[in-house]
């Protein structure tokens, strides 16, 4: 394949994925304005995030089947078309329900593009350059959520939340045209049957778990829905796994679980869940306690998070080249250590901490995140057979979404619970929020330390050409 065409294909997929992942967190700062415009409660407004995550959790497990059944070009056009339709609908949404439907359409496209990017990179990029390209791809996953609140804060402060979607529209059209121009390669598709019971179990399993996780903070006051959702999700997940193992003998499975037989893949899945959990948990609670506790504006907080995102853009490709030359361990082990260091540094924050120190702590955390994302994206499927790339990508991306949802819930629930207890005892709100954040980051530090242990057991795959 000509180098120009390969660059065009990976570029179109990576740019599409970046725009969609950016969109995943871009409403965090805009949510109060949206709630005011539509006259909805915070619980209702949160469904713009919960609905997005639920849709992702339901669609991603089916992408292993989709990547086998349909050509790359058709999947790309459908994914970008779905995202674009959702974006246009969000601009003109007359009521909150229509805006929620628009977010669901956007999530469908996002769920398809991420596994498509990973699978295509592993299939088309030569092994000697794979780490470098995956380093660039890691920017998509890590930087998008990091700068989403920054972009949102700038737009909402200057214009209105509608302009977030207005700005995305021409970019989505441009990326769609780019993909149509360059993605012209034959795809080895095959007519595999769609196992409908597996789809139903997948919806109940992953949808139930993500829903339960997203509302788990209410378990002490309203336990029925979180516990029921978790029970349905876990029982359905067990049934789903059992059915996939049985169907794998005849090739009729929706999601092949064979990649879990590889230790590096399993460890990478565990580490990506921790990385995404600490990333999204940190991105969500930093603005809460800095805005409500320290009284900083959304724009100031957004600008504070920006250096960490820019550092990831700069160092991702560098760590990718290190991976290409020396394998995963020189990237993953220091990355996990820096991720953990960043979380432990965050535990020292108090109301009088200088803003420059907070920026420095966040930058340390982001460098570790960049190293992990680069190494994990490259290592996870490096020793998995090519025929299972689609299924491995689907598993990996499902784990990312679950990890992000779990991490966000843990961080927010811990901070809110501790802050509520302190303020009920007569402490000022600022003290309660910072103490809650301290405990949340302690949990993050423990999780990140577990990732350090996992990184010690990741090995380099045998060279295959």
Task: Say which CATH number the domain at 406 has.
Answer: 1.20.1250.20
Question: pLDDT confidence of 42, banded at 50, 70, 90?
Answer: low
Distance of CA 316 to the CA centre of its chain: 17
- Spatial CA neighbour of 378 closest among 268, 465, 247, 226: 268
Q: What is the pLDDT of residues 191-246, one digit of tens each?
A: 777 788 888 998 898 888 878 877 776 777 778 888 898 899 999 999 999 998 88
Rounded to the nearest integer, the mean pLDDT of the chain is 83
Is the residue at 101 inside a domain?
yes
Number of Cβ within a 10 Å radius of residue 238: 12
Summarised one tens digit per residue, pLDDT across range 57-108 is 788 888 878 887 888 889 999 999 999 999 999 999 999 999 999 999 999 9
* Bigger pLDDT: 220 vs 424: 424
Q: Are residues 391 and 243 in the same domain?
A: no
- Last-in-domain residue among 233, 253, 273: 253
> Which pLDDT value is given to residue 43?
63
Q: Are residues 234 and 338 in the same domain?
A: no
Residue 461 inside a domain? The answer is no
79: in domain: yes
Q: Tell me, yes or no, whether 127 and 261 share the same domain.
A: yes
CA angle 132, 169, 9 (to 5 degrees): 30
- Most confident option among 92-101, 129-138, 297-306, 386-395: 92-101
In this predicted structure, the answer to whether residue 332 has a pLDDT above a threshold of 80 is yes
Same domain flag for 299 and 424: yes
Same domain, 335 and 399: yes
Does residue 320 share a domain with residue 173?
yes
If one counts the domains in the chain, the total is 2
48 in the same domain as 129: yes
Question: What pLDDT score was predicted for residue 453?
Answer: 95
- Whether residue 27 is found in the same domain as residue 110: yes
Q: Helices in 183-297 by DSSP H: which ranges? A: 196-202, 208-214, 224-247, 263-292
Domain boundary among 217, 234, 253: 253
- Which domain-ending residue is among 253, 274, 301? 253
The residue range of the domain holding 369 is 3-194+254-455
CA pseudo-torsion sign 286, 292, 296, 297: positive
Q: Is residue 462 part of a domain?
A: no
Give yes or no: residues 221 and 185 share one domain: no
pLDDT value at residue 379: 80
Q: Is 348 contained in some domain?
A: yes
Look at residue 465 in the predicted model and tell me its pLDDT: 44
DSSP 378-423: HHTTTTS-GGGHHHHHHHHHHHHHHHHHHHHHHHHHHHHHHHHHHH
d(C-alpha 56, C-alpha 431), whole Å = 36
- Identify the residue with better confidence: 460 or 465: 460
pLDDT of 461 reads: 67
Pair 340, 429 in one domain: yes
State the pTM of this model.
Answer: 0.80
């Amino acid at each position: 394949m000509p180098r120009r065409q390969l660059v065009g294909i990976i570029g179109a997929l990576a740019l599409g994925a970046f725009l969609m992942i950016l969109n995943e967190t871009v409403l965090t700062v805009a949510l109060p304005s949206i709630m005011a415009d539509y006259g909805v409660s915070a619980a209702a407004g949160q469904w713009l995030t919960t609905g997005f995550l639920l849709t992702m959790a339901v669609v991603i497990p089916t992408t292993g089947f989709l990547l086998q059944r349909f050509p790359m070009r058709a999947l790309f056009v459908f994914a970008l078309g779905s995202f674009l339709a959702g974006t246009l609908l969000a601009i003109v949404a007359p009521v909150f329900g229509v805006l929620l439907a628009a977010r669901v359409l956007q999530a469908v496209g996002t769920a398809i593009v991420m596994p498509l990017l990973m699978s295509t990179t592993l299939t088309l990029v030569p092994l000697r350059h794979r780490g470098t390209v995956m380093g660039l791809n890691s920017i998509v996953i890590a930087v998008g959520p990091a700068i989403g609140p920054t972009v949102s804060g700038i737009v909402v402060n200057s214009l209105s939340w509608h302009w977030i979607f207005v700005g995305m529209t021409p970019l989505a059209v441009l990326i769609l045209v780019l993909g149509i121009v360059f993605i012209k390669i034959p795809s080895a598709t095959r007519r595999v049957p769609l196992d409908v019971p597996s789809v139903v179990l997948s919806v109940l399993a992953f949808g139930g778990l993500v829903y339960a996780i997203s509302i788990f903070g209410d378990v002490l006051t309203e336990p029925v829905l979180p516990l029921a959702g978790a029970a349905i999700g876990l029982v359905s997940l067990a049934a789903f796994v059992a059915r996939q193992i049985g169907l794998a003998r005849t090739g009729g499975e929706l999601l092949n679980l064979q990649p879990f037989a590889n230790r590096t893949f399993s460890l990478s899945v565990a580490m990506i869940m921790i990385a995404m959990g600490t990333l999204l948990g940190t991105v969500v609670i930093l603005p809460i306690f800095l805005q409500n506790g320290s009284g900083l504006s959304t724009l100031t907080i957004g600008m504070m998070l920006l250096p960490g995102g820019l550092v990831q853009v700069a160092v991702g490709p560098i760590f990718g080249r290190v991976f290409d030359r020396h394998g995963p361990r020189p990237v993953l082990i220091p990355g996990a250590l820096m991720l953990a260091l960043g979380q432990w540094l965050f535990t020292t924050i108090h109301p009088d901490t200088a803003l420059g120190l907070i920026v420095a702590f966040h930058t340390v955390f982001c460098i570790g995140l960049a190293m992990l994302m680069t190494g994990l994206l490259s290592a996870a499927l490096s020793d998995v057979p090519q025929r299972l790339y689609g299924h491995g990508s689907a598993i990996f991306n499902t784990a990312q979404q679950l990890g992000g949802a779990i991490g966000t819930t843990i961080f927010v629930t811990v901070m809110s619970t501790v802050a509520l207890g302190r303020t009920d005892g007569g402490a000022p709100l600022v003290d309660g929020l910072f103490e809650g954040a301290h405990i949340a980051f302690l949990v993050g530090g423990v999780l990140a330390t577990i990732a350090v242990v996992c990184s010690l057991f990741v090995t380099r795959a045998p060279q295959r050409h």
